[in-house]
């Protein structure tokens, strides 16, 4: 199993541009999570999908952020327009469900907005 | 409001000695606790967990202790090895709540 795959690994963009981060969860995992890691706030949950349906997006910081999961094997996190304060490492994680102990995280996308 | 706190940003120990990483929580609804390990440029990886009905869980060199009355858990690594050098995150989950709430992490450095 290749694990959770995120792309790109690094993204540098100018303020105001649209950014799309991608995630392929582990096959058979029906829960998908987007986290953001910053020095100030640590790891924050942005949004959670179960069976491709967004369950809780209360962690999404602003309307500039949106996430989709069109099928069980793909999810995107979009920021439009991007701002310098969005610079962070964004992680995608998947799991077999609410009862499972741990998540499997991807390697993350390091986003820099200049 | 930080519900999971790791008050030590960093810890340095000698190879072969014990590493003790601490975590405090405030939400009494948390009933499941996990530790994750993170190397640079990689995602966090699950290390060990404990249910609130237990006070200890052991897996090889790693042991997690839970003190519910103090709302405190700790991760013990014995003996510590240089390859254990990483950031360790404490995480907690409450009841049917799917969310994992993470601490900010502790950077462990094991010196040869």
Interchain contact, A105 vs B43, CB within 8 Å: yes
Grade residue A98 by pLDDT with cuts at 50, 70 and 90.
low
Place of tokens 């986003």: A111
Least confident interval from A70-74, A101-105, B31-35, B74-78 = A101-105
Grade residue B50 by pLDDT with cuts at 50, 70 and 90.
very high
Q: Which uninterrupted H or E stretch holds B71?
A: none
Contact list in B for residue A31 (CB cut-off 8 A) is: 98
Interchain contact, A105 vs B45, CB within 8 Å: yes
Of A42, A56, A105, Cβ closest to residue B103: A42
Residues of A with CB under 8 A from a CB of B: 4, 31, 33, 35, 41-45, 48, 50, 55-56, 91, 93, 98, 101-108
* 8 A C-beta contact, residue B19 and residue B86: no
Of A45, A105, A107, Cβ closest to residue B99: A45
pLDDT of A96? 83
Contact list in B for residue A41 (CB cut-off 8 A) is: 104
Grade residue B98 by pLDDT with cuts at 50, 70 and 90.
confident
Give CA–CA dist B78/A21, Å, rounded. 39
Residues of B with CB under 8 A from a CB of A: 32, 34, 36, 41-46, 49, 89, 96, 98-105
Pair type for strands B56-59 and B45-51: unpaired
If DSSP codes are grouped into helix, strand and coil, which group holds residue A113?
strand
Average the pLDDT over A74-87 and give the result.
Answer: 97
pLDDT, one tens digit per residue, over A9-68 is 999 999 999 999 999 999 999 899 999 999 888 899 999 999 999 998 999 988 999 999
Report the residue of B7, B59, B100 to disrupt the A interface, i.e. the one with the largest count of A CBs within 10 Å.
B100
Average the pLDDT over A75-94 and give the result.
Answer: 97
Q: Which two tokens stand for residue B7?
A: 């008050």
CA distance A113 to chain B (A): 18
DSSP B73-100: EEEEESS--GGG-EEEEEEEEETT--PP
pLDDT, one tens digit per residue, over B66-91 is 999 999 999 999 999 999 999 999 99
Interchain contact, B43 vs A108, CB within 8 Å: yes
Task: Tally the C-alpha atoms within 13 A of residue A49's C-alpha that lie toward its C-beta.
Answer: 26
């Amino acid at each position: 199993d290749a694990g959770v795959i995120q792309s790109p690994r690094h993204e540098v963009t100018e303020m105001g541009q649209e950014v799309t981060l991608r995630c392929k969860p582990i096959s058979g995992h029906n829960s998908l999570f987007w986290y953001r890691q910053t020095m100030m706030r640590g790891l924050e949950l942005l949004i959670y999908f179960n069976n491709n349906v967004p369950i809780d997006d209360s962690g999404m910081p602003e309307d500039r952020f949106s996430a989709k999961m069109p099928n069980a094997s793909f999810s995107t996190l979009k920021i439009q327009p991007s701002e310098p304060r969005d610079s962070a490492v964004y992680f995608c994680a998947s799991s077999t469900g609410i009862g499972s102990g741990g998540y499997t995280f991807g390697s993350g996308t390091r986003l820099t907005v200049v | 409001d930080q519900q999971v706190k790791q008050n030590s940003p960093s810890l340095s120990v000698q190879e072969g000695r014990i590493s003790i990483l601490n975590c405090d929580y405030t939400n009494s609804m948390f009933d499941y606790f996990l530790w994750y390990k993170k190397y640079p440029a990689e995602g966090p990886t699950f290390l060990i967990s404990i249910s609130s009905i237990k006070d200890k869980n052991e897996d090889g060199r790693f042991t997690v202790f839970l003190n519910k009355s103090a709302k405190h858990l700790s991760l013990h690594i014995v003996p510590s090895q240089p390859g254990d050098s990483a950031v360790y995150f404490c995480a907690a989950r409450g009841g049917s709540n799917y969310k994992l709430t993470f601490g900010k992490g502790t950077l462990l450095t094991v010196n040869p």
